[in-house]
Structure 1
């Protein structure tokens, strides 16, 4: 049974989410001490975190950054703030998805299930290694090596690189990448893909490999 940690200061919303998730056989833990979000995370060891942005004491971006210092656990931001800048900040801080309030509970459950599948199941039993133009991606242990240096990627960045390397030489449309990353792209802001592509490119360039992912205007992306 997967445990979901709910970091939401509005008690009614926290309770509604918790009750819905329990119907789907999830174990839930709702934070009530907003000075101790990180302590709760460490003591509860959840498989996924639902994280509001507007919180007492420190905001969700701060807590996401703290969690990312020690863990790659999936994080879904839930917030009434819905500007592109908020979504970009959420992704840049290490969030895996973003849900805007008000939202349908069944959509949230679908996103949680999809993210849990991607995060814990999609590399099971595989023992593949992809090597191309200085990058080595080991599917067995989810590691990426660039010019002999291990590079830390988020789950979305790793999945994106995996798909592009596996299909190198082929142009992949934005729609195909969205479906591969988020299962149902209808619930994902298109800007989320751009943020993840740009962040992945930056990390690859910082490791010394330039122009690894090319944009084909009007068509998509390619690792040539």
Structure 2
């Protein structure tokens, strides 16, 4: 099991959205806590002692502004508002009450995780390079040791292969162009040519086949590659 890096309290009464955010954040090794009693949020906050709070404005009994003010009377923990309300006064109010950021719904998860990481780096002098483990399709990807493990086996990857996999997983379910991959490898002083990239991706797939994961890396002809959560077929 991956040890949680930080505790995040998510004050959100939409159960479906809460579950989705918790699942996505857990993939980044964050330990996410919800609220059982929206009439006594501060009690649960004190018990959990989270490293970061994400809070909606519209909540049962008392709104997010109320709880932000209450939290600020107890702690300087970073706070991110996550709300469908888009009036400028809401954003101004959140900042005046001591929030660190405001994200409007609907939102892209990549934006949320980027803001979380930026705040954690600033507040706790934390580097996201320390996030060396990631879960993907039931497997654990260890960036430090260049391995991928599931209940079937453990495979070892070359530096190029783990770099390519990491880059694809950072943009999971999105197409990453061949040009972007090559440029990233170049910037990281691991230059590969177009043909070498093809060879590395094919080797990566072959190794992932031992875990039943080879089909989760899809080729988009004329575009690039995509790491997916659902199995696909490739030639």
Give the TM-score taking structure 2 as reference length: 0.51
Deviation string for 1:62-97 (max 9, x for gaps)? 000000001000000000001110000000011000
Gaps of 5+ in 1: 123-224
Alignment-derived partner of residue 85 in structure 1: 89
Matched, 1:14 2:40: no
Matched, 1:47 2:51: yes
Q: For 1:43 and 1:36, locate their aligned partners in 2 and report how far apart those are by CA, in whole Å.
A: 11
1:121 corresponds, among 122, 125, 130, to: 125
Matched, 1:66 2:66: no
- Please, what is the CA RMSD of the aligned residues? 0.9
Q: For 1:12 and 1:33, locate their aligned partners in 2 and report how far apart those are by CA, in whole Å.
A: 17
Whether the 8 Å contact between 1:9 and 1:32 is mirrored in structure 2 is: no
Whether the 8 Å contact between 1:3 and 1:48 is mirrored in structure 2 is: yes
C-alpha deviation, 1:32, in angstroms: 2.8
Give the TM-score taking structure 1 as reference length: 0.54
Moved over 6 A (4+): none
2:27 corresponds, among 15, 23, 28, to: 23
C-alpha deviation, 1:14, in angstroms: 0.6
Q: Which moved more, 1:28-37 or 1:88-97?
A: 28-37
Q: How does 1:137-176 map to 2 (within 5 A)?
A: none
Q: Aligned with 1:64: secondary structure?
A: helix
Gaps of 5+ in 2: 127-235
